[in-house]
Chain A
Amino acid sequence: MFALVDCNNFYASCERAFNPSLIGRPVVVLSNNDGCVIARSNEAKEVSISMGAPAYQYQYTFEQRGVAVFSANFSLYGDMSHRVMNILSGYSDEQEIYSIDECFLNLAGINEDLHDYGVKMRKHVLKWTGIPTSVGIAETKTLAKLANRIAKNFPERTQGSYVIDTDEKRIKALKWLPIEDVWGVGRRNAKKLKAIGVNTAYDFSQLDRGWVLRKMTIVGARLLDELNGIACHEMEPVESKQSIATTRTFEREYRLFEEVSERITTFTVISAEKLRKQQTRCNSIIVFIETSRFREPDEKYSNSIVVKLPFATSSTMEIVKGAIEGLKKIYKPEYQYKRAGVVLMDFVREENVQRSFFFNSNPKHASLMSAVDDLNSKFGSQKIRLAVQDTKVWKMKQERISHRYTTDINDILDVNI
């Protein structure tokens, strides 16, 4: 049996964990630069604030409805996620962290009543972190996902934990779930399926396997099997990332090459640090720049370029050099840039790097970089920078950010007693 444990409205719940007065109040969290709504509490969903809603359009609703609005506080959410996952790892020998707020657990060999086991883990997580979760348990990962949805939708009746362990329960659940909400069915497939009268997961589960295989490839056939209780998706080990992207929308528009190249340099520095952390090197990078999408058509421009590096490297200096070469090729002085990014790709693990006869990463950089990483981790990120980087620490627009309660000693809870 598999369990899917999912945090309820995770970002909003993290804010509430350190500010209980927000319990019962609508809470929304905004994206980087306070652009749009990326997370909502149930109460915020009820006052029909949609996902992705631009914050400036909703000022009035926020005020009228007493909505608590937060800038995304990813250091807090990351740390709370780590705590939740750590607690849940104690409930299974095999855990697959699927995203920041959900994980699969393999429950093979658990001899307790599974519903109670689910209740036990969510109580544990709630007590230790203040984060509410829902637990779905079933024979396959797809059905566990469905069971989780039932637990989330009927918290009173299920105590937040639901097990699909009989055919009767499975069929009832499948009939309840609209086809577009089945895990792995895209919007386009859902539309096509509805056109032929497949409206629920149950309708889909009754289709002929050969037909599904022809129309929706092996992916669809596996989905069919999974819904019928035949496990196709095993637990997947966590792999290191295949690309690392750092992209940002700027606070204001930049025109000068020096300004844009400073941003590109900083994004590369951030990405390269992550690259070294997972002990890989990259062979190529993508650099892209964009004007604001609200500009007039003749003032709009966007371009990207792939830069192939002469050798696999994780040295910030070498990657930055490549990124700036790339930027020179796509930068045009007549535009105002609002957004840019750097993506590192084509990774090779540190220990598998092929030495080339002529070109190699400067071996001296490796020890320099590890010294820089050590110092930055001790004294705060970006304390040691390249000379071309901006001296001021570039500030994202985060007007409503809560404290970094768990990751910064200067930001911990203050209690008046």
Chain B
Amino acid sequence: MKEKVFRQIEIYPADTSKMLETPFIGDIKAGFPSPAEDFVASAIDLNKVIVKHPSATYFARVNGMSMETDLSEGDLLVIDKSLTPADGKIAVCFVDGEFTVKRIKIEKDKCLLIPSNSDFPIIEVNENNDFLIWGIVSYVIKKV
């Protein structure tokens, strides 16, 4: 709320935070100019490549073998919550009180959670389970 009744005048400081840009030629040196100078671009930023929606992106670490060889112990998961769940996507799911990561297959009245490692069983979840698709895995970062 701006209460200006008691103030007769207001003094505003000059804004010197921005500089007036004047054209500047740069260092002038004798000799042949570098032919690469016109082609300078900024270095590759992996954040821009991997994190498409910063406000919706979270990270998690893998613990366990059920998704070998897609995901291995210690892999870093990039999870994008903005993505819509779809068949074949790898999702971070919350089933009956615990997180897990599986490939999802959505069917009528149920959802199948399919491990990549065939030593592990397919989990079927239906309306009787406490089930939530927390986010979709968009990238996996592995140390090799």
Contact = CB atoms under 8 A, between A and B. Distances in A.
A83 B55 contact: yes
A127 B81 contact: yes
Contact of A129 (B5, B56, B62, B63): B56
A20 B94 contact: yes
Interface in B1-60: 1, 3, 5, 13, 16-17, 53-56, 58-60
Given A127-B82, A414-B61, A352 B13 contact: yes
Interface string B86-114: 00000010100111111000000000000
Interface string A214-229: 0000110010000000
Interface string A402-413: 000110010011
A130 B133 CA distance: 11
Contact of A416 (B55, B63, B76, B115): B63
Nearest to A222: B1
Interface in A309-356: 349, 351-352
B122 interface: no
A219 B1 contact: yes
B71 A417 contact: yes
A413 B58 contact: yes
B139 to A, nearest CB: 14
Contacts of B71: 417
Interface residues of B, number: 36
A409 B71 CA distance: 18
A343 to B, nearest CB: 23
A87 interface: yes
Contacts of B115: 417
Nearest to B66: A417
A36 B24 CA distance: 60
Interface residues of A, number: 26
A7 to B, nearest CB: 14
A412 B63 CA distance: 12
B2 to A, nearest CB: 9
Nearest to B77: A415
Contact of A415 (B54, B63, B132): B63
Contacts of B5: 218
A415 B93 CA distance: 10
A416 B98 contact: yes
Given A20-B134, A128-B81, A417 B17 contact: no
A21 interface: yes
B59 to A, nearest CB: 4
Given A20-B94, A20-B134, A351-B17, A128 B63 contact: no
B60 A412 contact: yes
B64 interface: yes
A233 interface: yes
Contacts of A352: 13, 16
Contacts of B134: 20, 130
A411 to B, nearest CB: 10
A383 to B, nearest CB: 23
Contacts of A351: 16-17
B118 to A, nearest CB: 15
Interface in A1-38: 20-21
Interface string B109-144: 000000100000000000000001010000000000
Nearest to A348: B13
A86 interface: yes
A349 B99 contact: no
Interface string A80-116: 0001101100000000000000000000000000000
Contacts of B62: 415, 417
Contacts of B13: 349, 352
Contact of A218 (B3, B60, B94): B3
Nearest to A87: B55
Contacts of A409: 59
Interface of A: 20-21, 83-84, 86-87, 127-130, 218-219, 222, 233, 349, 351-352, 405-406, 409, 412-417
11 contacts: A20-B132, A128-B53, A349-B17, A352-B16, A412-B76, A413-B59, A413-B60, A413-B61, A415-B99, A416-B64, A417-B66
Question: Would you list the 10 A-B pairs with minimal beta carbon distance, nearest first?
Answer: A413-B60, A128-B56, A83-B55, A417-B64, A417-B101, A415-B99, A412-B59, A20-B94, A21-B97, A351-B16
Interface of B: 1, 3, 5, 13, 16-17, 53-56, 58-67, 71, 76-77, 81-82, 92, 94, 97-102, 115, 132, 134
